[in-house]
């Protein structure tokens, strides 16, 4: 993988901040975008922008075709059985809320149980917590192990005949832990329990195959995979989408409307009320094509080298604690330096051009597990380098020196 060539595709990376080269290590929050995505978006606006699905004119038909081709491309990319299983949403959060709404309407009753893990992003925690509250169901949280992994044995102990869903993240946005989702679906399906996988932090870093994982639902966001904001995907097996009622009502999602009654459109349009974000969808398709062209196997290999290097170098810093030490980790490193506030570290290294995230990373139950309120988080993408990891370490050492002496 030629990273210096790749970096040329991402114009934002070549700037300086405070007279220092930008070192962008906040990829878990959002990624930068390659020119190929801008070009795809620009092409729609310049050449064939028109509202989709309803027009009979040339532009509308062309735009509809490009949009639906993107849906098919995404279905193929994740190895879905059909493009009917791909619902466009605003992002991971909306995808999960859509499923939670379906469960609320059709499946969950008083006394039922939903299992999540302690390492979930609030997006895959609060919707289930609220659903359980509303339905008098039980919200069950699988505690994590000290190394930031989950124990399959402990999960097995939590499953009962009342369990109606297991929702877990593929990769933790705080620890970088890769969860054994395939093993989870296997165990869950033995008892006919569906599994939802939050792939917000995995699809851009590894091969994700829904047939191989055998998950029932999977959610991800365009903006975390080098694509635009405001677009994401819910993958769901057709049997579930057939069962669920619409999530929102309006144009597009109907078949016929009369004063007496409304019938709904076929899949997946039943879940896409209103004018779809076709520009975003086409942009997200271009981002996935960029990943595919670069080669996911090469990305995995390259990112692992940079990640392992960064972990090794960070570990040499005095009084640093890195959270999450399980063997299967990628992209994300969360840490604290004893006696220093993550916010202070983040603010000072920003002055060196290093962009990281500080705080609880929308995963309060997880950070509380470690008895802390937050961490500093560096998260890597396909364009980051070992030299940037070195600069991160250097900046932290410098910042620590300043803060210790104050």
Q: Is 362 a catalytic residue?
A: yes
Site for ligand PMP in 329-388 (CB under 6 A): 362
Which residue, 28 or 306, has its beta carbon nearer to ligand PMP?
28
Closest approach, Cβ 16 to ligand PMP, in A, equals: 27
Considering CB under 6 A, how many residues would be counted as binding ligand PMP?
A: 14
Which residue, 270 or 357, has its beta carbon nearer to ligand PMP?
357
* DSSP symbols for 285-310: HHHHHHHHHH-HHHHHHHHHHHHHHH
* Both tokens assigned to 340: 């220093």
Choosing from 124, 163, 331, 358, the residue that interacts with ligand PMP (CB under 6 A) is 124
Which residue, 9 or 198, has its beta carbon nearer to ligand PMP?
198
Choosing from 92, 185, 331, 360, the residue that interacts with ligand PMP (CB under 6 A) is 92
* Region for residue 87 given its phi and psi (left: phi exceeds 0; alpha: psi -120 to 50; beta: otherwise): beta
Residues near 103 by beta carbon (within 8 Å), at least 6 away in sequence? 114, 131, 164, 165
Taking contact as CB under 6 A, which single stretch among the options 90-98, 151-159, 180-188, 351-359 is the one that binds ligand PMP? 90-98
Closest approach, Cβ 4 to ligand PMP, in A, equals: 28
Rounded to an integer, what distance in angstroms lies between the CA atom of residue 68 and that of residue 371?
47
Taking contact as CB under 6 A, which single stretch among the options 91-99, 102-110, 127-135, 374-382 is the one that binds ligand PMP? 91-99
Taking contact as CB under 6 A, which single stretch among the options 87-95, 185-193, 336-344, 395-403 is the one that binds ligand PMP? 87-95
Q: Looking at 63, 132, 215, 362, which residue is catalytic?
A: 362
Triad 203, 30, 324: Cα angle to 5°: 65
91 binds ligand PMP (CB under 6 A): yes
Choosing from 31, 117, 123, 185, the residue that interacts with ligand PMP (CB under 6 A) is 123
E runs forming strands in 118-259: 138-142, 163-169, 195-198, 217-221, 232-236, 254-257
Which residue, 51 or 373, has its beta carbon nearer to ligand PMP?
373
Which residue, 97 or 400, has its beta carbon nearer to ligand PMP?
97
Place of tokens 């097996």: 237
Site for ligand PMP in 212-271 (CB under 6 A): 221
140-145, long-range: CB < 8 A, 24+ apart? 140/113, 140/114, 140/115, 140/116, 141/115, 141/116, 141/117, 141/365, 142/115, 142/116, 142/117, 142/118, 142/168, 143/118, 143/369, 144/117, 144/118, 144/119, 144/366, 144/369, 145/326
Site for ligand PMP in 179-218 (CB under 6 A): 198, 200-201
Taking contact as CB under 6 A, which single stretch among the options 86-94, 139-147, 292-300, 379-387 is the one that binds ligand PMP? 86-94
Triad 210, 213, 219: Cα angle to 5°: 50
169 binds ligand PMP (CB under 6 A): yes
27 binds ligand PMP (CB under 6 A): no
277 binds ligand PMP (CB under 6 A): no
149 binds ligand PMP (CB under 6 A): no
**Which candidate, 283, 181, 273, 185, places its Cα nearest to that of 232?**
283
Residue 225: alpha-carbon gap to chain centroid: 8
CA distances to 91, 104, 123, 247, 253 from 273, in Å: 15, 19, 21, 8, 5
Choosing from 67, 71, 121, 270, the residue that interacts with ligand PMP (CB under 6 A) is 121
**Which candidate, 115, 113, 137, 112, places its Cα nearest to that of 125?**
115
CA distances to 9, 217, 224 from 30, in Å: 17, 22, 5
Closest approach, Cβ 161 to ligand PMP, in A, equals: 29
Which residue, 140 or 200, has its beta carbon nearer to ligand PMP?
200
Closest approach, Cβ 331 to ligand PMP, in A, equals: 10
Which positions are annotated as active-site residues?
A: 362
Residues near ligand PMP (CB under 6 A) are 28, 91-93, 121, 123-124, 169, 173, 198, 200-201, 221, 362
């Amino acid at each position: 993988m030629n990273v210096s060539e790749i970096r040329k595709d991402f114009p934002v990376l070549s700037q300086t901040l405070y007279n220092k080269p930008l070192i962008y290590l906040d990829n878990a929050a959002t990624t930068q975008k390659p020119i190929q995505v801008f070009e795809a978006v620009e092409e729609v606006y310049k050449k064939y922008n028109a509202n989709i699905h309803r027009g009979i004119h040339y532009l509308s038909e062309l735009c509809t075709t490009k949009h639906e081709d993107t849906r098919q491309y995404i279905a193929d990319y994740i190895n879905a059985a059909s493009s009917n299983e791909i619902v466009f949403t605003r992002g991971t959060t909306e995808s999960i809320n859509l499923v939670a709404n379906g469960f609320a309407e059709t499946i969950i009753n008083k006394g039922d149980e939903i299992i999540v893990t302690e390492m979930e992003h609030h997006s895959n925690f609060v919707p289930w917590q609220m659903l359980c509250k509303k339905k008098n169901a039980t919200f069950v949280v699988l505690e994590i192990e000290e190394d930031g992994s989950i124990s399959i044995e402990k999960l097995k102990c939590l499953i009962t005949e009342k369990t109606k869903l297991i929702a877990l993240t593929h990769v933790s946005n705080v620890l970088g832990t890769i969860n054994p989702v395939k093993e989870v679906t296997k165990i869950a399906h033995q008892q006919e329990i569906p599994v939802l996988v939050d792939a917000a932090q995995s699809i851009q870093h590894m091969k994700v195959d829904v047939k191989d994982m055998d998950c029932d639902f999977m959610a991800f966001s365009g903006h975390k995979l080098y694509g635009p904001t405001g677009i994401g995907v819910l993958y769901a097996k057709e049997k579930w989408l057939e069962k669920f009622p619409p999530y929102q009502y309006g144009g597009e999602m109907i078949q016929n409307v009369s004063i007496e009654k409304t019938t709904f459109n076929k899949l997946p349009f039943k879940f896409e009320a209103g004018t779809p974000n076709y520009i975003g969808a086409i942009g997200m398709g271009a981002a996935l094509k960029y990943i595919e062209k670069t080669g996911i196997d090469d990305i995995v290999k390259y990112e692992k080298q940079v990640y392992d290097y960064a972990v090794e170098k960070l570990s040499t810093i005095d009084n640093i604690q890195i959270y999450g030490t399980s063997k299967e980790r990628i992209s994300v490193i969360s840490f604290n330096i004893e006696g220093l506030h993550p916010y202070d570290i983040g603010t000072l290294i920003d002055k060196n051009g290093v962009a990281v995230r500080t705080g609880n990373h929308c995963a309060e139950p997880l950070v509380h597990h470690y008895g802390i309120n937050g961490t500093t988080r560096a998260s890597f993408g396909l364009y980051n380098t070992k030299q940037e990891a070195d600069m991160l370490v250097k900046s932290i050492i410098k910042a620590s020196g300043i803060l210790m002496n104050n």
